[in-house]
A and B are shown apart, each in its own frame.
Chain A
């Protein structure tokens, strides 16, 4: 009762907090951040093993080095160009296939690569290395697309190298002259 009585007679002084300077400062901060804000493109990385140095063509010597390192032949995809920076075709070369399999587009190659990787994973064997051999004039964005798809297919070790010339078939011995 006494308490209520005292409250009635209290003078209500509203605390006066200076909001305006704080608002000014906040607006200045906001202006700074709005001006300096630049939405950066989201960048990611594709980890790659580096190709063997000192050789323009990953010839037999380089492949034998890879074999010694891994004790397993890598899956190789040869990517020639059409001469104007575009991909002509894809030639897949595996340890089991006698002849390279030629794919006209990357979708079918991706399906094949996925099946190779899946078969290895199902057999609880390590997924082999994948070596891409690109023609030197191929545009880099197509290279990245292929490397990206290889990673999507399940290959963890991917190496891009320069294309090698197809092996020349040994010439058949000349027919003996019976004359």
Chain B
């Protein structure tokens, strides 16, 4: 007697399954696995006209993160130096001066040169895209020194990273 009654009250799970699968699909589309080599401590400044990364498909990207060092007691930003963070694969390397950064970039520049071949290299192509992610609390001196180091190694352009500000014009 109870069996037919149970069968009659069995909930229809199909719409629920549909809903859940749609939610799964949504999260699969918007999920952002960490593919970029970013230091999460860096708080980028805002810019209204910042665009997506300009690069060719074959270009490698070198991320340089710049974080000002703060006085632990007072919380004041040191104007003298900034912590430079780069990534080699998944491992993060921290440099405290421009000489260490220059040595790292020299190695990467040579890698580019070897990978590009003579014809491509001499046409001015094959260089990695250098992306500078500097914290908004950095001083211009921090950024300028890093840009000068990048230039000294042989790169001619840099892309400054900023948080896209949708409220700003542009």
Contacts and interface: CB of A to CB of B under 8 A. Distances in A.
Contacts of B95: none
Contacts of A29: 24
B107 interface: no
B99 interface: no
Contact of A37 (B31, B157, B160, B163): B31
B97 interface: no
A108 interface: no
Q: Is the interface of A mostly helix, strand, loop or mixed?
A: mixed
Contact of B50 (A53, A54, A85, A148): A148
B148 A152 contact: no
Contacts of A140: 45, 134-140, 142-143
Contacts of A50: 147-148, 150-151, 155-158
Overall SS of chain B's interface: mixed
A44 B144 contact: no
A145 B30 contact: no
13 contacts: A23-B20, A26-B24, A37-B30, A43-B163, A43-B164, A45-B50, A46-B50, A51-B144, A51-B147, A54-B148, A134-B144, A140-B143, A148-B47
B158 to A, nearest CB: 5
A98 interface: no
Interface string B149-170: 1111001111111111000111
Given A136-B139, A144-B162, A148-B170, A44 B50 contact: yes
A42 interface: yes
A143 B140 contact: yes
Given A140-B135, A152-B170, A43 B32 contact: no
Given A33-B24, A38-B32, A145 B47 contact: yes
A144 B45 contact: yes
Contacts of B147: 48, 50-51, 160
Contact of B20 (A27, A45, A51): A27
Given A33-B24, A45-B131, A136-B139, A23 B144 contact: no
Interface in A9-41: 19-20, 22-23, 26-27, 29-30, 33-34, 36-38, 40-41
A43 B27 contact: no
A148 B144 contact: no
Contacts of B54: 45, 47
Nearest to A29: B24
Contacts of B140: 134-140, 143, 160, 162
B89 interface: no
A85 B44 contact: no
A137 B47 contact: no
A48 B158 contact: yes
A133 to B, nearest CB: 10
Contacts of B144: 51, 134, 136, 160-162
A38 B79 CA distance: 32
